[in-house]
Structure 1
């Protein structure tokens, strides 16, 4: 037996003895002063927190304090209390029965002194979401710790990973969102056989994920996202039958999902997005308890398993930016309270699954940049929960179901680059939620309802490359939030409406390739944020208004192929266009 191993075996009984000895030699009356010193150190905090902390009261009646049956302080529970100051661990650790210190979500700062080593009875230490500085001190003496949470706490430097060898009672380890010095995956974690929660997201880890995680069979949560791990996933991860959440996103992982990954049948949330994983996802067909599945921005190939259409718990499905082929399962979402799908930027074909909003909960439908065919299923005309409908750059066709135009919660409707046809209903009253309308590069026709955008909050209107005709809708001049107007490539005629100063946020105005006539309105000079204006290929006549010379932000200006008598006023920035 090595000396180190002998020392670790001998240390735990010694810690228990010291904890017991300290309690027998420490009286309840000795606990008032450490608590008052704790209060004094945080005197700039919300005074109401410590209103009960007076010498006349029993320490066990202090707010946030819990005592055991013998009257000794065992817990300090003051999370989310706007506490500010430097923690006096020299005082805190005089409370020698202290088992729980919970001070998360405050404004504590400064360093953590080496006095923390004297809190040998601590079982729970939560200092997360604060503004500490410096290194985390050695934790070896805290051998009774079951919970250690330092998330987003402000520490830096090298974490004392070796300390974890002595913290074999840990069940909950959460050290995420801290800028530690770079280090490989801490192998000490692989010895914490009681762990059920492991959160090491965004804490400067790098290298390969080692074999051995599969031996921590009690694990229910693993989050090692936002690090710099590379290489393949360890094969023994498939042994974690209790795993409910696996977060691997934003690393540099390669290879395929391990053989047997389908054994993780307890998985509810799986996120491996933002890596370079490849191969098919056939193993996913066994994960019948999955509710949230994020595989986007990888290099996965093959078809989506048909079994996913039978999953009755899957509500979030995001797989954009891969190389998937074939159809989406036609029953997808039909048996669940489906909320979101983003299958964009793949090579999917076939029809859009019809029942993803069957239970009326779906908010996001993103299928852009694929090869979907057919039309938008009629069922979605009743999907009142829908907020974002984006199916651009496919081969969809036919009429858009009339009810789509009446969905009041839509913030974006993007049907661009398809073969849709038909007209915009005269009854389309744009709701206050709608920000983006993109119907470009289709075969829509007819006129635009005169009041369709009246008083709306639209930011982008793109109707370009269709067959719209008639006059431009004057109602758009009342859309104060507009940044982009693109009506190019249609058959609009009549005059350009006066664009009022309320459109001062407009950046792009493209009315080119229509049949517009009349003069260029001088009011265009009020659009001081314009960066691009294209009025080319129309039937405009007269002079370019001098007011346009005040558009100092304008970088692109085109009025060619009109009937203007003077192309460009002299002596201003237009000379360079």
Structure 2
């Protein structure tokens, strides 16, 4: 008894199945590409809103960045780094001694827009005229490893909510107007290696909890109003 016809029939069926499956595969590829394009477009719109909040600084005049965020050529003022199509690093550095942003600027609305980039691991916003108390909602950027807000006009206490950013390795808030005591909860940041709070208005003794930061390698506290006993840190 010959099995050839049955084998031919099976091969024909497989060929038909393969041909029938091709449109589905193509559709999945096209849908995936469309979703990726829409995602990048959404991130570009978010970045444009951020630029509007910053009052269109001259360092962000390039229109090319909004066309292809993840392949934009970085410069000394602006860098956008992506991983798998998501913005993971955003560096915006304004001109030295940038003035205060206009009175209608809202730090709360600005941060609300910023957290629409939830994959951010590194955020650098230097010399941009930001002013107001830093909103606790910044912790919605739950993957943050480096936060640098140097040379702005941020004031008030460092928000308690930052204690939830357990991945934070570097916190730089130099040259602002933060005030009050240095918070005890800084010791709850388990991987913090760099803490720089120079040129602010802190006014307290140094909390003993600083000595609990086992990974701390850089500590900058100059040009504040600290008093009391010195701490010996194991670094």
TM-score of the superposed pair, with normalisation by structure 2 = 0.61
Correspondence list, 1:127-138, <5 A:
none
CA contact (8 A) 1:498 1:524 kept: no
**Could you say which structure has the higher helix fraction?**
2
Deviation at 1:529, TM superposition (A): 0.9
Separation (CA, whole Å) in 1 of partners of 2:226 and 2:60: 45
Sort the Cα spacing of 1:390 and 1:380 in 2 relative to 1 into closer, same or farther, 3 A.
closer
SS in 2 for 1:61: helix
Q: Deviations over 1:172-201 (max 9, x none)?
A: xxxxxxxxxxxxxxxxxxxxxxxxxxxxxx
Pairing 1:61–2:45 present: no
Aligned to 2:93: 440
CA contact (8 A) 2:206 2:231 kept: yes
Aligned to 2:62: 376
Pick from 107, 111, 122: which aligns with 1:449?
107
Deviation at 1:554, TM superposition (A): 0.8
Q: Deviations over 1:126-182 (max 9, x none)?
A: xxxxxxxxxxxxxxxxxxxxxxxxxxxxxxxxxxxxxxxxxxxxxxxxxxxxxxxxx
Q: How many residues align?
A: 178
Correspondence list, 1:418-429, <5 A:
none
CA contact (8 A) 1:453 1:475 kept: no
Pick from 456, 459, 462: which aligns with 2:124?
462
Higher relative contact order (CA 8 A, sep 6+): 2
**Structure 1 residues not aligned, in runs of 5+:** 1-54, 66-359, 364-372, 397-411, 415-431
Aligned to 2:20: none
Separation (CA, whole Å) in 1 of partners of 2:115 and 2:73: 23
Deviation at 1:391, TM superposition (A): 3.9
CA contact (8 A) 2:182 2:206 kept: yes
Aligned to 1:472: 134
Sort the Cα spacing of 1:386 and 1:568 in 2 relative to 1 into closer, same or farther, 3 A.
same
Deviation at 1:523, TM superposition (A): 1.7
Separation (CA, whole Å) in 2 of partners of 1:387 and 1:550: 39
Q: Deviations over 1:457-513 (max 9, x none)?
A: 321110123433322232212321001100112222222111444311111100112
Deviation at 1:56, TM superposition (A): 7.7
CA contact (8 A) 1:525 1:547 kept: yes
Correspondence list, 1:253-272, <5 A:
none
Separation (CA, whole Å) in 2 of partners of 1:550 and 1:498: 18
SS in 2 for 1:492: strand
Separation (CA, whole Å) in 2 of partners of 1:477 and 1:556: 23
Aligned to 2:155: 493
Sort the Cα spacing of 1:390 and 1:495 in 2 relative to 1 into closer, same or farther, 3 A.
farther
Separation (CA, whole Å) in 1 of partners of 2:167 and 2:174: 20
Separation (CA, whole Å) in 2 of partners of 1:444 and 1:60: 82
Deviation at 1:531, TM superposition (A): 0.9
**Cα RMSD, aligned residues only:** 3.7
**Structure 2 residues not aligned, in runs of 5+:** 12-40, 45-58
SS in 2 for 1:485: strand
SS in 2 for 1:565: coil
Aligned to 1:556: 218
CA contact (8 A) 2:125 2:150 kept: yes
Aligned to 2:75: 392
Deviation at 1:518, TM superposition (A): 0.7
Sort the Cα spacing of 1:496 and 1:57 in 2 relative to 1 into closer, same or farther, 3 A.
same
Deviation at 1:374, TM superposition (A): 10
TM-score of the superposed pair, with normalisation by structure 1 = 0.27
Sort the Cα spacing of 1:520 and 1:388 in 2 relative to 1 into closer, same or farther, 3 A.
farther
Sort the Cα spacing of 1:496 and 1:553 in 2 relative to 1 into closer, same or farther, 3 A.
same
CA contact (8 A) 1:559 1:567 kept: no
Correspondence list, 1:128-277, <5 A:
none
Sort the Cα spacing of 1:445 and 1:563 in 2 relative to 1 into closer, same or farther, 3 A.
same
**Could you say which structure has the higher strand fraction?**
1
Aligned to 2:14: none
Sort the Cα spacing of 1:567 and 1:469 in 2 relative to 1 into closer, same or farther, 3 A.
farther
Q: Deviations over 1:531-564 (max 9, x none)?
A: 1110112110112222222211111111122111
SS in 1 for 2:90: strand
Deviation at 1:62, TM superposition (A): 8.4
Separation (CA, whole Å) in 1 of partners of 2:9 and 2:88: 48
Q: Deviations over 1:366-399 (max 9, x none)?
A: xxxxxxx99324x865x4x6445444237x9xxx
